[in-house]
Each structure stands twice: as structure tokens, then as C-alpha cells.
Amino acid sequence: MLAGWLDLAAAADHFNILVYHHVSTDSPASTSVTPQVFREHLQFFQDQQIHVMPLAEALAAVTNGSPLPDKTIAITFDDGYRDIYDNALPLLEEFGYPFTIFVATDPIDKGYGDMLSWAQLRTLAQRGVTIANHSTDHAYLVRQQAGGALGRAGLRANIEQAQQRLVDELGDAVPRWLAYPYGEFSTQLQDLLKDMGYLGFGQHSGGVWAGTHAQAIPRFAAAGIYANTATLATKIGSHPMPIDEANLPNMLTTDRSPSVTVDFTDNLVPTLPLNCFLDGDPLPASRPTASSFRLSSPAPLTLGRHRFNCTARSASGAFYYWFSKPWLVSDGTQ
């Protein structure tokens, strides 16, 4: 009874965000779905009674503790490619699904042909699409070895300039949300966004719940190798693993063999078997206490992005709890 009650309660207190980039047949496969596959996704959401909600509404429900329908998702796109207007918009309007686009403003200001124009973005905004901030230039904002690593003033200027362009072109409805370019962030950038009153969206997998760090909001990739509906169904049905997200270490690290100790905030999930992975390869978790687990990279990692993922099958078998810890390994040079 208790397990059943917890499953039911958890189903209503979280949602999952999907991130797409291109909807096109002639863009890079790893970040694309074809229009045909995108239609299959939308049809799947409709057939499976998956509740597609505006991102702001779903976030507000989690923040306010209001219950959400089971299997609620929000649809997002990063970068602002023109194929969203040409190929995704007609399908999303056909199904009546709301969505959000995070755009980098410089490529739009430069009028690149494969990007949305400001006129198209205004049309999208008028039709109810949410447009938000993805930096001015899509730079590696925190990646030190690439020479990115803007200081605090540079980061603030980049975010504020992009926001100003969005507000100038689209009006005051633009929310204070930043999708981190490449999904890369650091504790320093998270703290800055918090000071500036922004939410921060990553590209690591996991669900959104009351315990989600407001400047490390996860999103499930839905394109490329992740585009098949069986994989999507597992993610959409997943629940955030109930852990203390406030204590997770900096994504940006100079430790080539990073590790993390994760504290559960629930008594049931720690009794379930954990399956963990490092970049897709099995990674054993140790259990220092009954209410925690620990993951350590068994060998030095290459510079750049890596991830720990863990899932735990629910007692009922109906869904998985999902945890992801992204890393950005740096050699610390400028």
C-alpha cells in the first residue's frame, strides 16, 4: 500500500522536458529528427495521452506544489534554426502542442539563412511560442581549455545583451531563462544566474521536481540516437530520483577522475537496485550508507563533457527513477 501510494504521489509532482534542435532531413543527424520522425513523436504523445504543457506552466506547478497530470512534458528547441518554423511549427500547431525556443541572438542579428529571422520569431511569439535566451554567440561560456571561460562580468554582459535583444525585438514577455550553450555550466555561472534572477537549463537527462536545482534544470535529448519512441517513452515515464541536488559538485572540474556522493531524500528508492553508467558504460555504485550512493570514474577522463547516469526501477515496475550528473573536465588552462 505504501509503495503504491508513493508511486501515485510522485507521478503528480514532476515533469520531463525534451530538447530538440533541428527538424529537417538535411541537418546533422546527431541533433536532428526528420519531419516524419517528429510527426511520429507528436502522434505518440497524443496516442499515449502524454500531457504537453507550456514550460512556464509546468515549472509554476512544480514551484507551487500544484499537482501535474501523469506523464507531463514540455517541448523545447535550442539554437533557433529556421527549420523549426518551416517543419516543426506546422506539425506542433496541427497537434496543438505548446513549445519553447532558446535562441542565440548574434546569428539572428547577422541574418544567417539557416536561422530564424526576427520577423519569424515575432510571428512565433504572437502564436504563443515562448522564446528565451541561449546567449549572444553560443560560446563555450565556462570551458577553460577552449579559451572561453568568461569572467563574471563577461558572463553577465553576454546574458544581458542577449536578453536585451530578445526584449527589444519580442517585448517584455521574454522569460528570464537561459539554456546553457552545449549544456555546459559551472557553480560560478549558476550562482551568477541566481543573482540575476534567471533559471538555467542544461542538456543532462532527468526530470524536474521540487528538488531540482533552479540553475541546473535537466532536459532529455529527443533527437539522433535518442529519437526512437521506445527510448522516449522510458524517459517520459521516468521520475526524478529523489536526491539532494543542492549538494552535487561543480560540473566544471579539473579532477580527471571525478566522483560524487549522492544523498537520497526518500526511504523507498534506496531499497531499489541501482543501474549506473559512465558515458553509457556500466559503472558500479558503492553504498557508503543506507541513504546514499557514490560514483567514481574508474580511469582518467578525456577533457570535455562526460556524464554519470543512474536508473532504479520502481517497486511496481511501472517506471524508472532517473539521475544524471554531468561533468565538464578541464585542464584549467586559459
Q: Which residues bind Zn ion (CB under 5 A)?
A: 78-79
If the CB atoms of residues 117 and 254 are measured against Zn ion, the closer one turns out to be 117
- CA 296, 301, 304, 310 dihedral sign is negative
If the CB atoms of residues 133 and 212 are measured against Zn ion, the closer one turns out to be 133
CB of 266 to Zn ion, least distance (A): 33
If the CB atoms of residues 78 and 184 are measured against Zn ion, the closer one turns out to be 78
CB of 102 to Zn ion, least distance (A): 7
CB atoms within 10 A of CB 253: 18
Residue whose beta carbon is closest to Zn ion: 78
Spatial distance between the Cα atoms of 144 and 173, rounded to a whole number of angstroms:
34
Phi, psi of 77 (to 5 degrees): -125, 140
If the CB atoms of residues 6 and 124 are measured against Zn ion, the closer one turns out to be 124
CA atoms within 13 A on the CB side of 168: 9
CB of 221 to Zn ion, least distance (A): 12
CB of 330 to Zn ion, least distance (A): 20
If the CB atoms of residues 78 and 106 are measured against Zn ion, the closer one turns out to be 78
Cα pseudo-dihedral 19, 208, 329, 275, rounded to 10: -100
Spatial distance between the Cα atoms of 117 and 105, rounded to a whole number of angstroms:
10
Burial class, 194, CB count within 10 angstroms (exposed 0-12 / middle 13-18 / buried 19+):
middle
CB of 95 to Zn ion, least distance (A): 24
